[in-house]
Amino acid sequence: MTDKRAASGSVASYLEIDAELAGQRLDNFLLGRLRGVPRSHVYRLVRSGQVRVNSGRVRPSYRIRVGDRIRIPPVRHSAQTPVAGDAADFRWLEQRIVYEDDAVLLLDKPAGLAVHGGSGVSIGCIEALRIVRPQERAIELVHRLDRETSGCLLFARRRSTLRALHALLRDHAMDKYYLTLASGSWPRKLNRVDHSLAKHRHGAQARVKVAQDGKPSVTWFEPLARFGQFATLLGVRLETGRTHQIRVHAAAAGHPLAGDSQYGSQRFNAELAQLGLSRMFLHAASLSFQWPDSERRFGVSVPLPDELQRLIKKIAMRR
């Protein structure tokens, strides 16, 4: 990447894209480059035409190519300005790294921590990792988890690795397995839910609904344990990866997830709160795939958090 930057911080800089950076969306490239700049402001720069590619306007979803010349306007918090934070405040996050090698890092994300900053959240997992490990300049999120979801969160340490893993996601070749608790007794013959989903903004929140003109979405549900008519422990596999997909598909089936404040049952959640549940019961239990052009298989699993295991025991004792 060639960086032709003016001496003054009050004028635009121009970046020429090389093969290592090519292929990613413009918005993702800018968010990585302009660390510390609010997400909403980055989108505003693109939509207003202050960011240009080869002297022309493009959409945030534009995929940058080798040789593209990108104009980045002067921004108060440039790429050289790190997200504010003390490394000592996030050292505990390193203890939740369950696997790492030269290509990837996998974190057992705790519930309540966003994967990235934005929408009122100053620091998420990716920013915290960059604070704790400032030498990890190229580390990026491979996929996302809802803030209240715990479990397997994968990061790529090189741009080439990120492209390869994103290709697997597009081809539905990455197996992500979840554990969740749904209200009621899940029907024995309901294994596949395939409602199309559409996303819209509801204030500062993203909200998803079943819609005929939405994006095709498929979720596979497997009952693992039933607790009378009260609840069912489910294993879940995603065939597609839409925002809030598991939560919306479960609610559409009439069995919303435990602790889901957005799509769930207030009555069910209130009963579980009395048993000590203070989060959504959704855990990314494992992630696996085969490396492209290789016989090598990657697979990591993380156990159900202690607080969710305790809840299951309490429910089992009552039923």
**Mean pLDDT in the chain?**
87
Residue 153 has φ and ψ, to the nearest 5°, of -130, 120
When pLDDT is averaged across residues 256-264 and rounded to a whole number, the result is: 95
Residue 119 phi/psi, 5-degree rounding, is 50, 50
Going by pLDDT thresholds of 50, 70 and 90, the confidence category of residue 81 is very low
Q: Write the pLDDT tens digit of every residue in 262-287.
A: 999 999 999 999 999 999 999 999 99
Which domains are seen in the chain, by residue range? Answer: 2-72 (3.10.290.10), 87-166 (3.30.2350.10), 172-318 (3.30.2350.10)
Cα–Cα distance between 198 and 213 in angstroms, integer? Answer: 7
pLDDT class of 142 with cuts at 50, 70, 90:
very high
CA 49 vs. chain centroid, Å, equals: 28
Q: Which of 133-137, 182-186, 233-237, 298-302 has the lowest mean pLDDT?
A: 133-137
Average pLDDT over residues 275-301: 94
Distance of CA 9 to the CA centre of its chain: 33
- Cα distances (angstroms) measured from residue 154 to each of 106, 115, 198, 227: 5, 10, 25, 33
What is the per-residue pLDDT for 78? 38
Convert the pLDDT of each residue in 177-209 to its tens digit. 999 999 999 999 999 999 999 988 766 577 899
Angle at 248 between CA 42 and CA 263, to 5 degrees: 90
The Cα–Cα gap between 208 and 196 comes to: 10
Does residue 31 contact residue 39 with C-beta atoms inside 8 Å? yes
Told to judge if 146 belongs to the known catalytic residues of this protein, a careful annotator would answer yes
Using only C-alpha atoms, the chain has a radius of gyration, in whole angstroms, of 21
pLDDT at 233: 98
Distance CA 90, CA 108 (A): 14
Q: Which helix (H) or strand (E) holds 132?
A: helix 125-132
Tell me whether residue 110 is exposed, middle or buried, using C-beta atoms within 10 angstroms of its C-beta: 0 to 12, 13 to 18, 19 or more. Answer: middle
Q: What is the Cα–Cα distance from 284 to 235, expressed in whole angstroms?
A: 10
- Our CA dihedral for 18, 19, 20, 21, rounded to 10 degrees, sits at 60
Q: Which one from 146, 175, 194, 306 is the annotated catalytic residue?
A: 146
Model confidence at 85, pLDDT cuts 50, 70, 90, reads low
